[in-house]
Amino acid sequence: MALILIVEDEQPINELVRRNLELVGHRCVSVYDGETAISEIQNQSYDLIVLDVMLPQADGFEVLREAKEVPTIFLTARDSLPDRIKGLSLGADDYLTKPFEMMELLARVEAVLRRTQKGLSVFEAGNVKIDWDGRQVFYKGQAVECTPKEYELLEVLVRNRNIALSRERLLELVWGYDFEGDTRTIDVHIQKLRKKLGWEHVIKTVYKLGYRLELRP
């Protein structure tokens, strides 16, 4: 999918980000300081940078200045409005405040890549094709009728592919926090998607938890 540079000096965060981006099929390079980041950007053409602002040696803003041509999502401390404004004015595409959830990062990464990489407005896996711009789903070349909720559920599964998602989380993400129904709603919609897309063995049931869309790169 995409080649992503992760610039973050806190090793556990760097590794967590890397693991999640690799799970959904991206290739990643991890670096831990600003100077190494700058030399990476000069030597290799990346599709996206996930960039922490507070870094040893050169800080995130210096890296941003070097990375003008590369789409960038930067990470700031929660209360740092000036950092956010500065980052966006230096040309960053989006930002996340720490601490953030991996799902939120995956959503931002996908959104930025869709905006900046032509190929990513369409998703293809086996017989299934999704046109994100047109909100259209195809199975073996034929358009598939999906209800709005089926489509949103599909989008969440694809965005978080290879990651186990609980029924409760899926309900929150697709139906919202104030939804009154129960988690069987998810099961019903999953059955429909499995059938419509021939994904009986691709949308895996995760025992006592929920579901995982299994699409190995």
Compute the least distance from the CB of residue 19 to Ca ion, in Å.
18
Spell out a b/e string for 21-33, using b for 16 or more CB atoms within 10 Å of the CB, else e: bebbebebbbbbb
> Per CB under 5 A, does 13 bind Ca ion?
no
The 30-59 site mask, x for binding Ca ion (CB under 5 A), equals: ----------------------x-x-----
Please identify, among the stretches 5-13, 78-86, 92-100, 159-167, the one whose residues bind Ca ion according to the rule CB under 5 A.
5-13
Of 84 and 149, CB closest to Ca ion = 84
Shortest CB 23 distance to Ca ion, Å: 23
Which CB atom, from 84 or from 114, has the smaller least distance to Ca ion?
A: 84
Cα-Cα-Cα-Cα dihedral of 90, 36, 109, 28, to 10°?
A: 160
Half-sphere exposure of 35 (CA within 13 A, CB side): 2
Least Å distance, CB 52 to Ca ion, is 4
* Segment interacting with Ca ion, rule: CB under 5 A, options 3-11, 129-137, 166-174, 176-184: 3-11
- Going by their DSSP bridges, the two strands 27-31 and 142-144 should be labelled as unpaired
Q: How far apart are CA 128 and CA 117, in angstroms?
A: 20
Name the minimum Å distance from CB 97 to Ca ion: 13
- Find the shortest distance in angstroms from Cβ 109 to Ca ion: 19
Interatomic CA distance for residues 149 and 153, integer angstroms = 6
Contact 65, 92 (CB under 8 A): no
How far apart CA 200 and CA 193 sit, in angstroms, is: 9
What residues from 105 to 144 belong to the interface with Ca ion (CB under 5 A)? none
Interface with Ca ion (CB under 5 A): 9, 52, 54
